[in-house]
Amino acid sequence: PDSNTWKPPVLFHFSVEFQWMLARASASFAEVDGLGQELVLESNVARSGEAPGYPKGVKVGDIVLKRALEPLSDLITIWVQCCFNFTEIGWIEPCNVAISLLDEEDIIVARWHCLRAIPIKWSTAGLDASKSEIATETLTLRYTKLIRII
């Protein structure tokens, strides 16, 4: 959609797809947070009236994904475990992550690609036997570049 036909998405959901060289895996996440980027400016001791420093790079945020705990056979879980065992394996395989915002008819209204992502943190929510809740896990990814495709 262009700026003339764009409708702000009110009822929406999203999909997350992990893309490796030879494989892909889609997953349902309850939350996605951290999509963002900012210009890194060189420091400039500004005199009054001077412009701020010139841009010298782009900094991207970390993506935080939350979902129900998945079995060990889940491809994303296997990838995360391999990355955290890099000292035994000898390397980490980054992947590209595509996050799509979908409308109520499952049509993509916005899509972002996070390039060369690796997991930097994995955790579960607190486990409490007195509550009847779904066990959840949180995965934090660091990536090198963010591109909005749609």
Beta carbons of 29 and 99 less than 8 angstroms apart: no
Q: Which amino acid type is present at position 61?
A: G
pLDDT of residue 12: 75
At 1, is the pLDDT very low, low, confident or very high (cuts 50, 70, 90)? low
Determine if residue 4 is left, alpha or beta; phi over 0 gives left, psi from -120 to 50 gives alpha, anything else beta: alpha
Q: What are phi and psi of 81, to 5 degrees?
A: -60, -40
pLDDT of residue 104: 84
pTM here is: 0.85
Q: Which domains does the chain have, with CATH numbers?
A: 13-148 (2.30.110.20)
- pLDDT tens track for 29-64: 889 999 999 999 887 665 656 677 888 899 999 999
pLDDT of residue 46: 58
Residue 136 burial by Cβ neighbours in a 10 Å radius (0-12, 13-18, 19+): middle
- pLDDT tens track for 123-135: 999 988 898 889 9
